[in-house]
Structure 1
Amino acid sequence: MSKNIFERLQAGEAVSYSDPAHSEIGEAAERTTKLLIEFNSTADVEKNRKLWGKISGEALDPSSMIQIPVYVNIGQFTRIGKNVYINHLCSMLDMGTINIGDDVLIGPKVNILSEEHPVNPAERKALMVRPVVIKNGAWIGAGATILPGVTVGENSIVAAGAMVNKDVPDNTVVGGIPAKVIKKIDQSDRDNY
């Protein structure tokens, strides 16, 4: 059985825009865009939970909340855990998969990107993907960008405006462009809330 374009991408293949199967991406994005238009135009939380289930293929847990508007290009490769809060204007490119654990806070205007292009100009019109993982208890500050292949560690904080291009260790605060470790979160920090 041949793999679809998403399976090929997630298996590590760089797929060119001229690939005959590339239209599968456009079809999936169009389907998601239609659902997002409806999602982003209603304040009915229960209706949006159902719509998110149609977008991602997995129901949004009742303990989790997505503020509108939110943007996702495909949606079916985004997994959101329990007790997650995603603030408005979050943008997710998820063909490489985005896995958001439990008890995660995502600030406004955050970008989570699992897609990229080759550096070589002759190959740049190809698409490549790498998964993004945001572990339990993480907090992504306003305007931060998480790049492809990054894992944000458990209980870690990404400072507002940071650009994260490398894994974030558990229990650390990172900030800057590119993000660097600012401090370790110790037991006294964890006990203060």
Structure 2
Amino acid sequence: MSERAIVVVSAGLSTPSSTRMLADRLAAATARTTPVQARTVELREHAKDIANHFVTGFPGPELEEVLDAVRRADGLIAVTPIFQASYSGLFKSFFDVLDQDALAGKPVVIGATGGSARHSLALEHAMRPMFAYLHALVAPTSVYAASEDWATGGGSALPERIDRAADEFAALLEQRPATQATDPFEDPVPFEQLLAQRQG
């Protein structure tokens, strides 16, 4: 099994962040199951560029590089804090500026953090439909971590759920051909051919 490139997107706003912690644990559990090269993206570091993208229609160089990494990745781990019973605005904004087809057919595992377990359904009524709309292949198991999960060292259910989600994500990665990075300017159509097509 060849090594797969994955991007880990964390929408945590603080340092340290329980959202980042959950993202890291999902990435580590995936790496124990299948060979991956993981790159972690902290969205708070790109918040200004994301906002500017909405205004100007163009990403800054750093944001463009992140968006390109997501496009080229074989899979995605996406974790957000839950605010007002849904994903954070920063998390949604990032996926709003991503090309609509960038996640088509791409394996994704979703996770979220919050102060209370009663917000766990946000994964199913908010996050999963968003990624389904983007035509991603979302792992069946999603992972929610409430404050009490960390207070008890993760309890007994959280580690098991992380491992199950990671196993499903790894299986999706293994079933999908590795992404081949392509450069649209690598093999240009000769000018004579373009001219002949126009004349024809």
- Give the TM-score, by structure 1 length: 0.20
Normalized per residue, the structure richer in strand is 1
Rg larger for: 2
Greater RCO structure (CA 8 Å; 6+ sep): 2
- Give the TM-score, by structure 2 length: 0.20
